[in-house]
Structure 1
Amino acid sequence: QEIQALGVNASTFIADVSDREQVYAAINHAEQTLGGFDVMINNAGIAQVQAIADITPDEFQKIVDINIGGVLWGIQAAAAKFKQREHKGKIINACSIAGHDGFALLGIYSATKFAVRALTQAAAKEYASHGITVNGYCPGIVGTDMWVEIDKRFAEITGAAIGETYKKYVEGIALGRAQ
């Protein structure tokens, strides 16, 4: 509603990005309700704060399905629509600083973000001949509810005070602040 109040067309669609059919349905919804789209941003993701030795098969599969599968399905669905319309669209994937540097207790999350970088690079090469660009961005620490939960979980595991892990990671950012 806030976006529409600005005079811009907007629509919402709730989807489980780990489910390929739901991602394709979301893309179809965008095309039908908005008359098409120029940019697809794959931004959904979750983090599992846990030692690598303690990750269960179900926890592993869930984070892989969301963080990697969701990006893959988003790339496929958007690229198919762009190619169908002979449109030179843009696909932008959320990577992470954790996709450049593996973080302790965020090993599986880091692994999925390394994978997103690889998917992004491969897709950029595969879709370039269609005029479709595929890029990624790698934010550092973003002040979101997800980071509040990550910080709490670090505190539980390491005994650090609430806020200490968040502060430590923010200090590692060149700007010295969360994004």
Structure 2
Amino acid sequence: MRAVVTGGAQGIGAAIVRRLSADGARVAVLDRLVAPGQAVADEVGGSFHAVDLVDVAATRAAVDAATSALGGLDVLVNNAGILRFAALLDLDPDAWDEVMAVNARSFLVTTQRAARTMVAQGTGGSIINLASMAAKAGGAGQGHYAASKAAVAALTRVTALELGEHGIRANCLCPGYVLTEMGAATRTAEDVATWSSYSPLGRLGEPDDVAGVAAFLASPDASYLTGQSINVTGGMVMH
């Protein structure tokens, strides 16, 4: 298995890189964080490709370089994302555009590049997009973030519909509260305790919780699963 993971330098992305590698995949990491991205790639014996996913041309080039390094492509994991907060009435359109560019538009660009390779190979493939429970539940102060993640879910469904004839599956994951570097500066111990109470399991997620589901979607065990938005929320969202 040959896999490209965007945003693989830390957090959920790094956990997915490690899990796929442990399952026997060769992995290429795309990220704008050079030092940690290279470290994760070195750890699993993969390749690292520095890229700012806001730059469309650079994104296309990075996917092509990663695919070349792997000698083909079977799995694309679109994990990269940014989290921003703003009250709806104060939300700056430029901030909206930034979040949409990273969290949604880059998924389109990478998918287009990866899918062409998968179609040419003729052996199918799996595209796994990281959305969020915000795609289904929203979140006060997250107008741009929630909208971008809802866009990911919609893009996933369209991808599944259009590429299924080529044996390419597309699914997205909707994690809940996961303890990663993203948002660490804005959360308190009280926040963690409150959020944990929302789950019937009484805890927040860990990156490995999400990585395990991603590994399943990448595997032949998920060969009849496509177009789905799968909650990884500890029961916080059940629809």
Q: 1:37 — aligned with what?
A: 73
Q: How far apart are the structure 1 equivalents of 2:86 and 2:175? A: 21
Partner residue, 1:79: 115
Hey, what does 2:209 align to over in structure 1?
none
Runs of 4+ in 1 over 6 A off after TM superposition: none
Please, which moves more after superposition, 134-143 or 12-21?
A: 12-21
User: Alpha-carbon deviation of 1:80?
Assistant: 1.1
User: 1:18: Cα distance to partner?
Assistant: 2.1
State the partner residue of 2:64: 28
Residue by residue over 1:70-129, the C-alpha shift from the partner in whole angstroms, topping out at 9 and shown as x without a partner, is 111121111111112223011000011111101111122111111110000111111001
- Code of the aligned partner of 1:118: A
The percentage of aligned residue pairs carrying the same residue is 35
CA RMSD of aligned residues (A): 1.8
In structure 2, the partner of 1:169 is 195
Higher strand share: 2
Q: When the two structures are aligned, how many residues end up with a matched partner?
A: 167
TM-score normalised by L of structure 1: 0.85
**1:148 offset after TM fit, Å?**
0.9
Is it true that 1:138 corresponds to 2:161 in the alignment? Answer: no
1:170 Cα offset (Å): 2.9
5+ long unaligned stretches in structure 2:
1-38, 206-239
Partner Cα separation in structure 1 for residue 116 and residue 96 of structure 2: 29
Taking the aligned partners of 1:114 and 1:54, their CA distance within structure 2 comes to: 21
Instruction: Tell me how far 1:4 sits from its aligned partner.
Output: 5.4
Whether the 8 Å CA contact 2:60–2:110 is kept in 1: the answer is yes
Unaligned 5+ residue runs, structure 1?
152-161
Give TM-score, length-normalised by structure 2: 0.65
3-state DSSP of counterpart to 1:145: coil
| SS class of match (1:138) | strand
Q: Spell out the pairing of 1:79-158 with structure 2 (5 A cutoff).
A: 79-151=115-187
Residue 99 and residue 25 in structure 1: after superposition, are their counterparts in 2 closer, same or farther (change >3 A)?
same
Question: Quick one: distance in 1 between partners of 2:108 and 2:192?
Answer: 29
